[in-house]
Amino acid sequence: MARIKPLLQIGTKVRILNSSEIGVVNEIIDEKVKITFGIIKMTVNIHNLEIVKN
């Protein structure tokens, strides 16, 4: 978490670990992140995310 939290902000493209879908961060609340994958919205623990490089 310490490595991703400073880089994470609204609009950042992220991927859930072991997943191929890319989502966009909508909101960050403590260690929970609200993400949108197309029309699907979900809340994920920050430990389960990785930032997508272009």
pLDDT tens column, 7-37: 789 999 999 999 999 999 999 998 899 999 9
**For residue 39, how far is the Cα from the chain centroid?**
15
Strand (E) or helix (H) holding 34: strand 32-37
- Is 1 a residue whose pLDDT tops 60? no
| C-alpha dihedral (50, 5, 25, 21), degrees to nearest 10 | 10
pTM of the model: 0.82
Of residues 37 and 1, more confidence is placed in 37
**For residue 49, how far is the Cα from the chain centroid?**
5
**What is the per-residue pLDDT for 2?**
52
| C-alpha dihedral (38, 34, 20, 22), degrees to nearest 10 | 50
**What is the per-residue pLDDT for 53?**
83
**In terms of residues, how long is the chain?**
54
